[in-house]
Structure 1
Amino acid sequence: MSAEPSVILHTDRPAAALAVLMETHPDLAVHACDSYAALPELIGRVAAEVVYSVRFDGTPRYPRLALVESATVKWVSIGGSGTDHLGHWDPARLTVTNSAGVASGMLAEYALGAMLSFSLDLRGFERRQQARIWGGGRVEPIEGKTVLIIGLGKTGEAVAKRAQAMGMLTLGIRARAKPTPSLDEVHGVDALLPLVGRADFIICCVPLLPTTRGLLDEAAFAAMKPSAVLIDISRGGVVDETALLQALDGNKIKGAALDVFATEPLPADHPLWGYGNVAITPHCAAVHDGWDIKSVRMFTDNLTRYRRGEPLENVVSPERGY
C-alpha cells in the first residue's frame, strides 16, 4: 500500500469514472483504459498498483491474468458484484474488492417485475393483443404466494424486503443459515430440494462458485411444482441449462425469467429463444442510468481508506467468492 498509488480505471466509460475520481483524489496519477486488449501493456507501463475494473465485454476475453499475476497490482476493485471472471487469486499478494449492493435495488425490482409479469400473464395478454383477441387469460395475485430466494447477500435481502412488502411468504437459502431481516425462514443449502417444492417463485442470487455451479440441476427441477417460475439473476452456470430445457419440455415448471446464461451472448440458435414461457434479457438486470457512477463512488471511498492504510470494505475471499 502506498499513499500515492498509480491507478487504472478499466471501464468502457473512463471519462465519467475519471471525473468522479478526481473530485476526491485530484493528486493521483490516474490512467484510463477502455479495452481488454490494452490493459496488460498499460499495467506494466505505469506500474499500476490499483485497478478499478468493469467486466464490460464478456468473460472469455477478460484480461484476468494481467491482474492476478501482475508484479505491481496490489488491489483490484471490481465494478460489479461477481468476481468469477477473475478466477482464483492469491489473497496474500492481491486484494480483491467488489461493489456488492451497488445494483441490489435494481436487481430486486427486476425479480419483482418478473414475478408480477407471470402472475398477471402479461406475455399471454400481449400475444392476444397482437392477435386482436378480446377475452381469455387470467390474473392472479402474488400476495400469499411463496418465494424462495437462493443466496442472501445484499441482492437477496433486497428481493426479500420487496417480496415481504407484497404479502409473500419469504424463504431463503444461504451458506450459513441464520435469522435474516425480511425472511420468514432461512435454511442451509442442504434444504434446497424440500424448499423448491414449496415455492411458487424461485429466485437465484448466488455467485458462481465450484459449490454453486449446476446448483439447480435435474433433481432440483424434478422437485419443483408445475406452477413454479424460475428467475435467475445470478451468474450463468448456476442453473443447469440442459436440466432447465428438459423441465420446460416436460411442463415440469410454469416458466422462467433469465438474465444470465452459460454462454453470453446467448447464441442465436440456442433453444431457449423459442419458448413462449421464457423471458430473456441480455445480462442487463443490474444496468441502469447511474449504476456505474455509484460503483465508482464506492471505489473512491475505498481508495481513501486504502491511502490511509485502513481496512477496505467489500473484500472478497477467493474461496467463498464473496
Structure 2
Amino acid sequence: MGGGPEVPLREGAQKNDVLLAVLPWPEQLSAKIISEIKDEFPKLEIHYIQENFPKKDRAKTEVPEDLTKRAKFLATIAWLPATASKSPNLELIQFFSAGTNHIAEHPIYTDSEIPLTTASGVHGPQIAEWVIMLNLVHSHNYIQLYEQQKKKEWVQSKGAQVRDGVGRRVGVLGYGSIGRQVARLAQALGSDVIAYTASPRKTPESRRDNGFIVPGTGDPEGSIPSAWYSGLDKKSLHEFLRQEIDLLVLSVPLTKDTQHFLSTDEFELLHKSNPNGTYVANISRGGIIDQPALIKALESKQISGAALDVADPEPLPSDDPLWDAPNVLITPHISGMSTVYAERAFGVLRENLRRRRDGKNFVNQVDRKRGY
C-alpha cells in the first residue's frame, strides 16, 4: 500500500495486478477499507497517490510512468493518463464522482473502450439531507427567524406561516440513487412522491435500483412513488410538471438532452399548476436550468424559491445577478461532501473488483453514447 520506488522482480516472477488510486484526500482517510480490499484481494498491489488540490493544481500531480503502464485498475476523480496507450493494461477506471461529464472530451472517453464506472449511489444520504434541510429552512421561514435572533428580537409572528410536509407533493426529476433517498425522507415527512425517468418504468423489475446502494437507504424496489413519468421530450416533461408539485428536485445528469431542461415555459407551467409556488432544488448541474429564466421566475414569484448547490458557471461570479435573486439559497457545490465519502466510494470499487472476479457486469458502468 502506498507509493515508492519499484523493486526489481526476480527472473521468472510475475507482477501482481496493480490498483492505482489518484485521489485528492489523504490515504489515511481510507486506510481501513483499503486494508479490507487488500485482505480480500491479496494479489492486488495498491498504490495511492494524493492528487494536488485545488483543481488548478491537478496538472502538477506526479504519477510515475511505470505505475501508469502497469495499472490494471484506476481509482480517480479527474486524473487520467493522456491517452489509453499510456496505460495499456487498464481494465477498469473507477471514478469517485457521480458522473463523467467532466472528462467527456478526454481521449480515453472518446477513443477507448476501457470500462468506466462511477460512484453513483454514495451521494444519496448527504445530498438528500441537504435537499430536505433547505426545503425546511424555506418552509419554516428560518432565514427570517435567524435574522431576528441576531437582532435579539422575540417576534412569534415571523414563524407562524409554516406549511409542514404532510400531504405535499414532491416531484423527483431523475429517480436515481439520490432521488430515491429524497423520496424516502419525503415519505417519512408524510409527502406524496412522484418520479420522472428518462425511459419508461412500467414493470416492477424496471423500477428496481440495480446500482450501488448505501445499506438502509433509498428505494431499492421503486415502491415509494405514487406515479411515474418518463421521457426526454418537452411534452412528457410538461405532463410531469403539471402535477401540482410543491418541491421539485432536479437530480438528472447533464447531457445534450437535459441542457436547460427547465426554462421559461417550464417555470410558467409550474406556476399555473401550483399558484402557491413550487420550491426548486437543484443538486445536479447548473446547466440543467436556464439561469436567466430562473432569476426571472424568482423575481416574478412564478416559483416560491430555489435551493441551488450548483450554478452555471462555477464558481458563480460575485457579480452574477443570481446571488441577489429573491428567495434563493446557494451553496458552493458541497451537498455531496461527507466525512465517509471516500470510504463509500472505495466500497463501490470493491464491489466492482468482486464482480470482475466473479464474471459479472460492473455496477454503475457508463454508457458512453448516453453520457452516463
Give the corresponding residue for 2:368.
Answer: 318
**Which stretch of the first structure deviates more once superposed, 69-78 or 176-185?**
69-78
Give the match for residue 188 of structure 1.
230
Question: Do the aligned partners of 2:130 and 2:335 also contact (CA within 8 Å) in 1?
Answer: yes
1:213-228 to structure 2, matched below 5 A, reads 213-225=259-271, 226=275, 227-228=277-278
Please list every run of 5 or more consecutive structure 1 residues that lacks an aligned counterpart in the other structure: 55-61
Distance in 2 (alpha carbons) for counterparts of 1:13 and 1:27: 25
Paired letter, 2:179: G
Q: Matched residues, percent identical?
A: 26
In 1, distance between residues paired with 2:368 and 2:260?
19
Show the counterpart of 2:286.
Answer: 236
After superposing the two structures, state which structure 1 stretch, 144-153 or 91-100, moved more: 91-100
Deviation at 1:147, TM superposition (A): 1.2
Native 8 Å contact 2:68 2:87 kept in 1: no
**Which residue is 2:172 aligned to?**
149
Q: Which residue of 2 aligns with 1:59?
A: none
Question: Equivalent residue of 1:167, what SS?
Answer: coil
1:105 equivalent in alignment to 2:125: yes
Q: TM-score scaled by structure 2?
A: 0.76
Aligned to 1:99, what secondary structure does the other structure show? coil
Runs of 5+ in structure 2 lacking a partner? 1-13, 53-57, 203-221
RMSD across aligned positions (CA): 2.6
1:52-91 CA deviation, whole Å, 9 max, x = no partner? 112xxxxxxx555736675523321011212211205258
**Structure with larger Rg:** 2
1:92-129 deviation digits (Å, cap 9, x = unpaired): 62100111111212211221222222211111222233
Q: Is the 8 A contact 1:75 1:94 kept in 2?
A: yes
Look up the match of 1:82. Answer: 99
In 1, Cα distance between equivalents of 2:362 and 2:345: 15
Q: Is the 8 A contact 2:18 2:72 kept in 1?
A: yes
Q: Is the 8 A contact 2:263 2:290 kept in 1?
A: yes
Q: Per-residue deviation at 1:191?
A: 2.7
**AA at the equivalent of 1:221:** F
Q: Deviations over 1:4-32 (max 9, x none)?
A: 43322111114134553243225433333
Maintained 8 Å contact 1:236/1:262: yes
Residue of 63, 66, 73 corresponding to 2:82? 66
Relative contact order (alpha carbons < 8 A, sep ≥ 6): 1 or 2 greater?
Answer: 1
Stretch moving more, 120-129 or 12-21:
12-21
Closer, same or farther: CA 309–45 of 1 in aligned 2, 3 Å: same
Does residue 125 (structure 1) correspond to residue 145 (structure 2)? The answer is yes
Secondary structure of the corresponding residue to residue 6 of structure 1: strand
Distance verdict in 2 for CA 1:115–1:67, change over 3 Å: farther
Determine the structure 2 residue equivalent to 1:32. Answer: 48
Amino acid at match of 1:192: L
- Contact 1:64–1:85 (CA under 8 A) maintained in structure 2: no
The alpha-carbon distance between structure 1 residues 70 and 196, as it changes in their structure 2 partners (threshold 3 A), is: farther
The aligned length equals 314
Give CA-to-partner distance per residue, 1:205-258, whole Å, 9 cap, x none.
Answer: 111111111111121112112511100111221111111111112222111001
Q: Quickly say closer, same or farther: Cα 1:301–1:4, change in 2 above 3 A.
A: farther
Moved over 6 A (4+): none
Paired residue for 2:21?
9
Determine helix, strand or coil for the equivalent of 2:286. Answer: coil
Q: Does residue 1:23 correspond to 2:36, yes or no? A: yes
1:46 counterpart = 2:46? no
Partner of 1:57 in structure 2? none
| Residues 1:214 and 1:65: Cα distance change in structure 2 (over 3 Å) | farther
Q: Which residue of structure 2 lines up, in the alignment, with residue 202 of structure 1?
A: 248
TM-score, length-normalised on structure 1? 0.87
